[in-house]
Structure 1
Amino acid sequence: MGQYPSTSSSSVELNRRDTPPSEGLGLGWDHGLDLPSIPPESSAVPDLGRADDDAGGGVDFTSELPDECLAHVFHFLGSGDRKRCSLVCRRWLRVDGESRHRLSLDAQADLLNFIPPIFARYDSISKLSLRCDRKSISINDDALILIALRCTSLSRLKLRGCRELTDLGIAAFSQHAKNLRKFSCGSCSLGAGAVNAILDHCTGLEEISIKRLRGIHDGAELIGPGVAAKSLKSICLKEIINGQCFGPLIIGAKGLKTLKLIRCLGDWDSILQTIGSSTPSLIEVHFERIQLSDAGLAGISHCKGIEILHIVKIPECSNLGLCSIAENCTQLRKFYIDGWRINRIGDEGLVAIAKQCPNLQELVLIGVNATHSSLSLIASNCPKLERLALCGSDAIRDAEIACIATKCEALRKLCIKGCPITDVGIESLALGCPNLVKIKVRKCRGVSNQVAEWLRERKGSLIFNLDAETEDEIGVQESAVEFAPMFAQQAAAPDVPSSSNDRSTMFRAKLGLFAGRNFVACTFRRWSNGENSSGGNL
């Protein structure tokens, strides 16, 4: 969502696919709308319902159309069209304002003066995003409290770059935002007190996402679940220096279903060992670039209901941890591993997954040297496997691809990137995988354009995307896999010892967190029916 300066012609950005009141609320595309300079009751706004046919005016055929239907029509219009329609007459202006449920504002300091007229017109806003760029002064506590008083139906709040907000302001806001269900905060100066205030006052809070909060540092107060302990379902922590202060929150959220820990410093083993026995409801887990060992994986494996697991660039996780996951998490459906090419995860762990997780539908292996022995077992024991990605592995050759073609009958989508396969391996796919609808091959120098044309002729309905690049480019550019999840850059990493005397030192040296700021992005997108479609979310 873009932002617009909050001047006298303040611009407001809202959701294009916002569902009508009869269908509830939903996330979707965004489009902008300028607040009209004419007040709603101004005589300058024409009333089409009173048009005089004798005077040459037209008949307003929308006068008998219910407001709900008119609002539904507005939702299909683009940014400019909806803005112009809101100025046609007083009724259209009112319906447009009442049917808006999502708003994105440029949260600079002068927004304070425009909050009353904005929320007088858009009085049904339930999803609000406040963003401020780094070079500007953001709104302060007074503006946020005024928003809470004016926007009584607010259920989702997203704060980005609002550095003038304080813990006291968030505490006052939370006392008026009783209906808040989703709270996201990033790049602000808030501390543990602000997060605790949200958790202590918002009884229906379901999702909380915290990213780069400057006030959370070593020695910060602990963050507990508060009154949201029973309702909280999703916790996402990104780039937190002292993430361990969230330990009581993670452990105390008894109904937690989704946990994401991404680039957060500190040792997470002890917290995850505790959560394994206290949070049986956990379904989705994402770990990326955190200090975690096999002991932590063994702890989280006691959450036997886990269906989605991402383990991304965690150097201390090995086959032993995967064996613990396989033994307990037998309902696993989606498994994503980025082994960072350090050879600690391989056939042994994948064989355990194949033997214990028959419901596997999606498997993504990056920098993991899986050979014929493990892939054959996965293909045989996981009959529901529909999506498979093999990236950056020297062990994936024609024999492994032939094995997949022979045994993966349910496979629909296959991605191969940076593997030493040849035309022979691609040809084998034409003889197997009867349900295969899409193949994407990138940076595999042994695959030629000739085999691509041959495969298209042999299987006309098959979508085959070939991007053969040089080996030097492998691991540097984006690796786009057009099914969920998609993944981006892969950085080649040197081999590291299988053990370390100083875990913290090795972890910081390996990841370089908060020093170089050169984080390798992992981007997730939806595979649509078209070849070049992509999706985004709030």
Structure 2
Amino acid sequence: MTPTISDLPDACLARVFHFLSPTERNRCSLVCRYWLIIEGQSRHRLSLNAQSDLNSVVKSIFSRFDAVTKLSLKCDRRSSSINDEELILISQFCQNLIRIKLRSCRKLTDSGIESFTNNCNKLKKISFGSCNFGAKGMNAVIANCQFLEELSVKRLIGDLTDEIKPGVAAASLKMISLKDLYNGQRFEPLIIGCKKLKTLSIVRCYGDYDKFLESVGDNVCGLVEIHLERLQVSDLGLEAVSKCRNLQILHLLKTPDCSDLGVMYVAEGCRLLRKIHIDGWKTKRIGDEGLISVAKNCVNLQELVLISVDVTCYGLEVLSDKCRKLERLALCGSDAVGDGEIVCIAAKCVALRKLCIKSCNVSDYGIGALAVGCPNLVKVKVKKCKGVSSDGVGWLMANREPLMVSLDKWECW
């Protein structure tokens, strides 16, 4: 007798489903009852519209998808979201969750989050955005989730007057991301209590963060990546960051109080830096002096993105001489970067593979220098450089095969 698809072992059919998109899986589940059951039992990731009427279908949904480990609950801002009772009901069906994402669930309170994490205490990754609970709920998360490794908090609307303390989760947390918070400093006790913390991201949080970073620098020495964006932080904060000797990735974006001195502090203290992104925000406070310090101290640098930072041939020559491993370079929005700087890069940066130039005073002459320089170059992106024409780019591509050059189609790495 000829074997049919129904003769496949359950595990084999489930494996096939893992290669399909969510839409394709949904279609396959309609083929027959057997496929419906196996598709449900093999689905580990689920994303649901978290409106208030979800309660009526929670039991039927999670009876079918009883192996879900990654759950996303998102509600439209104009709609009424699920409440504590519905979240607790979900937690009773999903006690094996390892990832949860809650977005715009404005009816959830501290009590609901506490009950949820009591049931789902195996969580490794948590992301909260625009939710209505506060410090009490966050402390419950930290107290209950002993395996937690990643925590992302964005626009938390509830009361954050109390500090977020290091509970059992502090022993396992490796990544913390804070965005759009009025009282982000309340997370300081938690952060300095996370001895295994590797990544810290603070974006658009209000208040002075110099003292906050001083505590971090004194207590969390294992940080590998720091992302600071649109933050009130000065050179004193960067001096504190320089104590993180293991730092390899630094994003310093739109922090107008930072200058060359702060960059020098970091470069001298964090000599293992591999990736640096700096957005000077046209304050003219970061330039060649900071770049030269980076070049002299961070010889393992592989990626450098400079936005609104006025660097010249003087700084770029030192960079190319000292940072022989530099593979990716982006120069954006700088009035000081012109043909001379591109000629310098072409002549000196022998390891460079990707070059991005945006809104700089560069012409076809500077772009043409890349035809004979940078022997390992494979990709060039040029955007909003008025002096660069399609003819110039065409000439470069004709004389430098198989170099890929894109004009006015820029994106940052």
TM-score scaled by length of structure 1: 0.75
Amino acid aligned to 1:150: F
Contact in 1 for aligned 2:153/2:178 (Cα 8 Å): yes
- The aligned residue for residue 395 of structure 1 is 336
- The aligned residue for residue 338 of structure 1 is 279
The structural deviation recorded for 1:79 is 4.2
- Structure 1 position 379 matched with structure 2 position 320: yes
- The aligned residue for residue 302 of structure 2 is 361
Contact in 2 for aligned 1:216/1:240 (Cα 8 Å): no
The structural deviation recorded for 1:73 is 1.8
Amino acid aligned to 1:141: D
Q: Over residues 326-381 of structure 1, what are the superposed CA-to-partner deviations in whole Å (9 max), with x where a residue is unaligned?
A: 11100000000000011111111110000000110000000000111111111111
| Cα distance in 2 between the residues matched to 1:177 and 1:89 | 33
The structural deviation recorded for 1:80 is 4.2
Q: 62-71 or 418-427: which moved more?
A: 62-71
Contact in 1 for aligned 2:183/2:206 (Cα 8 Å): yes
- The aligned residue for residue 514 of structure 1 is none
- The aligned residue for residue 174 of structure 2 is 233
| Cα distance in 2 between the residues matched to 1:170 and 1:319 | 44
| Cα distance in 1 between the residues matched to 2:227 and 2:76 | 29
- The aligned residue for residue 172 of structure 1 is 115
- The aligned residue for residue 245 of structure 1 is 186
* Structure 1 residue runs without a partner (length 5+): 1-52, 54-58, 468-478, 485-538
- Across the aligned residues of Structure 1 and Structure 2, the Cα RMSD in angstroms comes to 1.3
* Structure 2 residue runs without a partner (length 5+): none
Contact in 2 for aligned 1:212/1:240 (Cα 8 Å): yes
Q: Over residues 81-113 of structure 1, what are the superposed CA-to-partner deviations in whole Å (9 max), with x where a residue is unaligned?
A: 322321223321121011111101000111011
- The aligned residue for residue 297 of structure 1 is 238
Describe the SS at the equivalent of 1:63: helix
Amino acid aligned to 2:260: N
Amino acid aligned to 1:240: L
Which one of the candidate residues 122, 126, 130 is aligned to 2:69?
Answer: 126
| Cα distance in 1 between the residues matched to 2:284 and 2:97 | 48
Which one of the candidate residues 444, 447, 458 is aligned to 2:399?
Answer: 458
The structure richer in helix per residue is: 2
Contact in 1 for aligned 2:356/2:410 (Cα 8 Å): no
Describe the SS at the equivalent of 1:116: helix
C-alpha spacing 1:225/1:402, structure 2 compared with 1 (3 Å):
same
Q: Over residues 163-189 of structure 1, what are the superposed CA-to-partner deviations in whole Å (9 max), with x where a residue is unaligned?
A: 010000101111111101111111111
Contact in 2 for aligned 1:183/1:209 (Cα 8 Å): yes
- The aligned residue for residue 263 of structure 1 is 204
Describe the SS at the equivalent of 2:278: strand
Amino acid aligned to 2:146: T
Matches within 5 A, 1:510-525: none
| Cα distance in 1 between the residues matched to 2:375 and 2:21 | 42
Amino acid aligned to 1:364: V
Which one of the candidate residues 70, 79, 102 is aligned to 2:45?
Answer: 102
Q: Over residues 23-82 of structure 1, what are the superposed CA-to-partner deviations in whole Å (9 max), with x where a residue is unaligned?
A: xxxxxxxxxxxxxxxxxxxxxxxxxxxxxx9xxxxx552234222221222233344432
Instruction: Report how many aligned residue pairs link the two structures.
Output: 413
Matches within 5 A, 1:480-491: 480-481=410-411, 484=413
Amino acid aligned to 1:322: V
- Structure 1 position 90 matched with structure 2 position 33: yes
| Cα distance in 2 between the residues matched to 1:337 and 1:231 | 30
Q: 76-85 or 391-400: which moved more?
A: 76-85
Q: Over residues 229-275 of structure 1, what are the superposed CA-to-partner deviations in whole Å (9 max), with x where a residue is unaligned?
A: 11011110000011111111111111110000000001111111111
Amino acid aligned to 2:18: H
| Cα distance in 2 between the residues matched to 1:272 and 1:81 | 47
- The aligned residue for residue 214 of structure 1 is 157
| Cα distance in 1 between the residues matched to 2:11 and 2:301 | 44
Matches within 5 A, 1:414-453: 414-453=355-394
Matches within 5 A, 1:474-513: 480-481=410-411, 484=413
Contact in 2 for aligned 1:251/1:271 (Cα 8 Å): no
| Cα distance in 2 between the residues matched to 1:439 and 1:132 | 41
| Cα distance in 1 between the residues matched to 2:125 and 2:22 | 26
- The aligned residue for residue 5 of structure 1 is none
- The aligned residue for residue 258 of structure 2 is 317
- The aligned residue for residue 199 of structure 1 is 142
| Cα distance in 1 between the residues matched to 2:41 and 2:212 | 46
Contact in 2 for aligned 1:347/1:371 (Cα 8 Å): yes
Contact in 2 for aligned 1:216/1:241 (Cα 8 Å): no
Describe the SS at the equivalent of 2:12: helix
Amino acid aligned to 1:109: S
- The aligned residue for residue 183 of structure 1 is 126
Counting aligned pairs with the same residue, the percent is: 55
Amino acid aligned to 2:410: A
Describe the SS at the equivalent of 1:235: strand
Contact in 1 for aligned 2:354/2:380 (Cα 8 Å): yes
| Cα distance in 1 between the residues matched to 2:128 and 2:155 | 8
The structural deviation recorded for 1:290 is 0.7
| Cα distance in 1 between the residues matched to 2:351 and 2:8 | 49
Describe the SS at the equivalent of 1:286: strand
Describe the SS at the equivalent of 2:173: coil
The structural deviation recorded for 1:460 is 2.2
| Cα distance in 2 between the residues matched to 1:182 and 1:265 | 25
| Cα distance in 2 between the residues matched to 1:392 and 1:425 | 16
Describe the SS at the equivalent of 2:6: coil
Which one of the candidate residues 89, 109, 120 is aligned to 1:146?
Answer: 89
- Structure 1 position 75 matched with structure 2 position 18: yes
Describe the SS at the equivalent of 1:205: coil
Q: Over residues 376-420 of structure 1, what are the superposed CA-to-partner deviations in whole Å (9 max), with x where a residue is unaligned?
A: 111111111111000000110111111111111111111000000
Runs of 4+ in 1 over 6 A off after TM superposition: none
| Cα distance in 1 between the residues matched to 2:285 and 2:159 | 33
Amino acid aligned to 1:480: W
Which one of the candidate residues 323, 348, 363 is aligned to 2:289?
Answer: 348
| Cα distance in 2 between the residues matched to 1:101 and 1:232 | 23
C-alpha spacing 1:79/1:186, structure 2 compared with 1 (3 Å):
closer
TM-score scaled by length of structure 2: 0.97
